[in-house]
Amino acid sequence: MSANIKRLKARIKSVDSTLHLTKAMQLVASGKIRKATEQLHASRSYTDAVKSVVSALARSKECAYSPFIAGHKAGKNTGKTLLIVIAGDRGLAGGYNSNAFRLADSVNADELVPIGRRSVDRAIGGAHGRMSPVSEGYATERFTPEDSKRLASAICERYLSGEIGRVMIVSTRYVSVLTQNAVLTQLLPVDKNASIEMFSNRGKDQKRSNKEDAAPKAEHELEDGGYMEFEPDPNSVLSVAIPEYVSSMIYGAVRESFASEVAARRFAMDSATKNGIVMKDNLSLEYNRARQGAITQEIVEIVAGAGDKQ
């Protein structure tokens, strides 16, 4: 009986120690959620603006044969796929990391660019493709716009040279604190059919007026009735816009993924804390019953011993 009491006491102590850890991680994650979502919404606004420009360029006749839009011509290394995999810097975030890795495994990638310590550690093993020469072992929490621009510039250079024929990215889309979805997105060549949020402050009437008064320029209508003009020509703008587009997409995906990681960790630690409290209560109840049984047995033995003496 005493051995069982000691075992229960040790388990209660272990669960209590784990509860201190899960509560601390829950508080840290809760503190990071606000900042992470603020950065997320700011990056979404900029990414949507860049995507609208690139989408208009992709639909123009002048850019139809650009390798950024049409892909590489036959004869180049068009089958080589570079995959950017964004995962977390830490674990204990439910299925956040495993969902991203499972989606990444579905892509037959020739090169990997891991972002996030867990993704870097996994890529170093080499079981799911070799590390790309442009990879620098980035961490998601400290990933900066400068890191994104440097990475995007290197990727675009290799894409134009024909070293890679396709660029894709695995990230996690932040829906809410309770919902995050792993997504696969193609960056290059640009998908002309990708759904984006269009924007414009000018209507069709103003468009007609400007067309009549202005000199002939390349004009491309947006879905909401506005239009864009590209100077000196769409191809020149495209060559400048694509690196910025890739950079904004990568940075936005990292911010989305980091916000998802923090939210997933908070939810996981909240569930772990609740389960730990229930487990501790059950163990405490079992411990009290065992202790009460031991005390009752001792009283019975004392009473029995006193009766034998009489």
The pLDDT score that the predictor gives to residue 262 is 94
Structure confidence at residue 182 (pLDDT): 95
Residue 22, pLDDT above cutoff 50: yes
* CATH domain 48-270 topology: Pyruvate Kinase; Chain: A, domain 1 (3.40.1380)
Please tell me the distance from the alpha carbon of residue 156 to that of residue 154, in angstroms, as a whole number: 6
Q: Does residue 250 carry a pLDDT above 90?
A: yes
- pLDDT tens for 128-164 read 668 888 888 889 989 999 999 999 999 999 998 888 9
Radius of gyration of the chain (CA): 29
CB atoms near residue 224 (< 10 Å): 14
- Please state whether beta strands 130-131 and 111-115 pair in parallel, antiparallel, or not at all (unpaired): parallel
Give the percent of the chain with pLDDT over 90.
35
| pLDDT at res. 116 | 93
| 167 phi, psi to nearest 5 deg | -125, 125
pLDDT in tens, 79-90: 789 999 999 998
The pLDDT score that the predictor gives to residue 205 is: 39
Residue at token pair 């916000």: 259
pLDDT score, position 127: 58
Domain ranges of the chain: 48-270
Q: Which of 6-15, 22-31, 246-255 has the highest mean pLDDT?
A: 246-255
**Average model confidence (pLDDT) across the chain:** 82
Name the pLDDT band for 216 (thresholds 50, 70, 90).
very low
- Report the amino acid identity of residue 284: S
Residue 83 near residue 170, CB atoms below 8 Å: yes
Contact (CB, 8 A) for 180 and 174: yes
Q: Is the pLDDT of residue 195 over 70?
A: no
Half-sphere exposure of 209 (CA within 13 A, CB side): 6
pLDDT in tens, 48-68: 889 888 888 888 888 888 888
